[in-house]
Amino acid sequence: MRQSATPLIEHSMTKPAKFDREDIIHRAANLYWEKGFHATSMRNLQEVIDMRPGSIYAAFGSKEGLFKEALDHYAQSGVDVLDDCVAKTDSPLAALKLFVEKAIAGQKTPAPSGMCMLVKTVAELTEENADLLAQAKQSLSVVEGEFAKLLAQAQANGDIDTEQTPQALARFLQVQIIGIRTYAHVNSDDQTIGQLVNATFNNPPLAKLK
């Protein structure tokens, strides 16, 4: 019954899982991201990941189990993007700004939803799905922690004011990103959104010192 992510060699090998687990989760995540947890039915999922119910339940246990893995996948890919931004820029502050611009531009073509999937999840779910809710919150905290690290570096570099702790600055940045991406649903005018991003990085507490 059990399926292993990477088929393990045991006493006697049998038919290995033919599907690419990462790819399946990626597709599932995109559907959940677009439609939300409740509005996504197992039938919808069966179609986009091209698996029959038995296989899905053998591999992921339940609708919630698959959603959990989708959330993990999404959060990890977010961290990957942030790391990529760090690699592509020459300062922590520039990395953060690039990340924000990418996140907000992603609202356009290829992303299932302009909103962060973690935020959508926190907004949608209640205590009826306490574990999923907790996981989304925790992933948001992890991202915030990554922000804090970069902001601490920016302070050490003398790029930004040190009046507030890196943690407080990270919270502030989270609020801006959540607010702007959500607001972009209502008014997605490029210039308007650009103004809001600039306001975030040009005013205290994140304004660059000269």
CB 170 within 8 A of CB 144: yes
Buried b (16+ CB within 10 A) or exposed e, 51-60: beeebbbebb
Q: State yes or no: residue 6 binds DNA (CB under 7 A).
A: no
Q: What is the number of residues in the chain?
A: 210
> Residue 19 binds what, of DNA, a second copy, none (CB under 5 to 8 Å, by partner type)?
DNA
From the list 16-24, 54-62, 92-100, 186-194, the region that binds a second copy by CB under 8 A is: 186-194
Give the closest residue to 155 by CA, choosing from 100, 196, 205.
Answer: 205
Q: State yes or no: residue 106 binds a second copy (CB under 8 A).
A: no
CB 73 within 8 A of CB 66: no
Q: State yes or no: residue 2 binds DNA (CB under 7 A).
A: yes
Q: How far is the CB of 138 from a second copy (least distance, A)?
A: 9
> Residue 176 binds what, of DNA, a second copy, none (CB under 5 to 8 Å, by partner type)?
a second copy
Give CA–CA dist 184/64, Å, rounded.
29
Which is closer to DNA, CB of 62 or CB of 198?
62
From the list 56-64, 69-77, 130-138, 182-190, the region that binds DNA by CB under 7 A is: 56-64
Could you say which of 3, 4, 192, 198 contacts a second copy (CB under 8 A)? 192
Q: How far is the CB of 93 from a second copy (least distance, A)?
A: 17
CB 169 within 8 A of CB 105: no
Tokens of 114: 């302009």
